[in-house]
Structure 1
């Protein structure tokens, strides 16, 4: 077994720079931290068709724990201090993969994916974005589109919150929300905006939910601006019979997506 690289090694230093968005964007590389993320990355391919994973950094202890997972991977041993510098986690699991970007152009996503789709408009919190991707994966959604000023898809917290789902379904990044919604509608899908003041009750629209739809979710703090909500075919509210003022964004997304999954199976 080779000697583990230390925190001062140039390759480790180079990989650590991917914690900065500007470097990730320039190199089109990002870090996937932990066994679930690395497992997903090893089974994924980039938009160009290459293997998603460039290299896996792993501690000797983690290499012994995850022999099957790492079989056939290009593995580089690092010591604990080097791993602490590469990992965004408080308690590193001992393996981090350097990965190629995996997002695809929206036009490609629309050709290969089936409804439902998820549109995240100006979703800024990386935990919410990652959790929505994970939920979309769980319900069998056809893809997730991040629009406007949404968080960086490859933010370490987004990647970690997706728990590997980032690598399981098509993802697109579109700066213009209106253009993204227009393209999705042109592909034959209705667009439903999740809105606390929506005219439709989520529990009373099974016929609409069972059709080909895309869900539009807005920012954590201010929701969907009127001009963005107006892009949708319908605005849908989640009934709240209790005393809570509202639901967390990722919770609301899960309720909407599972209501759609139930209606589609009915």
Structure 2
């Protein structure tokens, strides 16, 4: 930062500079894996990355934001980003440089180089989670990001991606999370069988979101509401207020039979109209909010 509070007097202006190319390489998986770094783009994602960075530094841990590049126009629109970026390697850059670094067609004037934020399965389970989303063979980065964002909004404690799922550090996936990537623990490369077994050992029920499921989500919610009001003393097949891990499957094929077999129950989201089914993001949102509502009410 200079005396005016801005990162430096003269912005980076050469889009072909080595520093610029090095940042741009993070759009590719090989560079991300080699350096354990990824790119956050846009004010929302960078803001949330910097907030998490500050919390970790305050806790005596290593920060996650290594470099920030921004245009003056972006900082004028979002002055809070300057304060949040203090203590990081922050640089002014021209629009052309940001465009060369970013993965998007129309960059928003700021990018940040971040360190990987995923954690181990053990860390997640040791924290006593009550709501987990498990993504099995989810290949589309936009879908993965949407489910992660929904899980964050529903107050889930973690999102777990199996080894065959998309790289959550893919720029499109990062953008799709709208900053939620920096809000809750993420486990990557997990084995679905191991995750289900470890959840059950900890008393966490495992539900498979399956359009052909024998249980109806509406029925489970009605039974839950009945128990809360005292209108029904009948014991339901599954109590949504209990700690739960939801299995969500591939966008096209859904959950494989061996993945469904890992669950305690198969649960269908009812479709009342003429649509054949719900897309992954919508189904995951409905299921996670059903559990969240039951858990909050209890």
Question: Which residue of structure 1 aligns with residue 24 of structure 2?
Answer: 16
State which of 210, 214, 218 in structure 1 corresponds to 2:245.
Answer: 214
Query: Are 1:125 and 2:156 an aligned pair?
Result: no
Q: Render the CA deviation track for 1:192-244: whole Å, top value 9, x for unaligned.
A: 00001101000111342111101100000000011110001111001111110
- Segment drifting more, 189-198 vs 9-18: 9-18
What does 1:77-116 correspond to in 2, within 5 Å? 77-116=92-131
State which of 240, 252, 255 in structure 1 corresponds to 2:286.
Answer: 255
TM-score normalized with structure 1 length: 0.95
Question: Which residue of structure 2 aligns with residue 37 of structure 1?
Answer: 45
Question: Which residue of structure 2 aligns with residue 162 of structure 1?
Answer: 177
Question: Which residue of structure 2 aligns with residue 196 of structure 1?
Answer: 211
Which protein has the larger Cα radius of gyration, Structure 1 or Structure 2?
2
Cα distance in 1 for partners of 2:129, 2:183 equals: 14
Is the contact made by 2:72 and 2:92 (CA closer than 8 Å) also made in structure 1? yes
1:146 CA displacement: 0.5
Cα distance in 1 for partners of 2:161, 2:258 equals: 17
How many equivalent pairs are there? Answer: 265
Q: Render the CA deviation track for 1:49-79: whole Å, top value 9, x for unaligned.
A: 3111001011121122222122114311111
Unaligned runs of 5+ in 2: 1-7, 225-238
Cα distance in 2 for partners of 1:95, 1:231 equals: 43
Unaligned runs of 5+ in 1: none
Q: Render the CA deviation track for 1:93-115: whole Å, top value 9, x for unaligned.
A: 10000000000011011112521
Cα distance in 2 for partners of 1:80, 1:262 equals: 44
Is the contact made by 1:147 and 1:180 (CA closer than 8 Å) also made in structure 2? no
Is the contact made by 1:57 and 1:76 (CA closer than 8 Å) also made in structure 2? yes
Query: Are 1:58 and 2:66 an aligned pair?
Result: no
Cα distance in 2 for partners of 1:260, 1:177 equals: 20
Question: CA RMSD of the aligned region, Å?
Answer: 1.5
Question: Which residue of structure 1 aligns with residue 231 of structure 2?
Answer: none
- SS of the counterpart of 1:252? helix
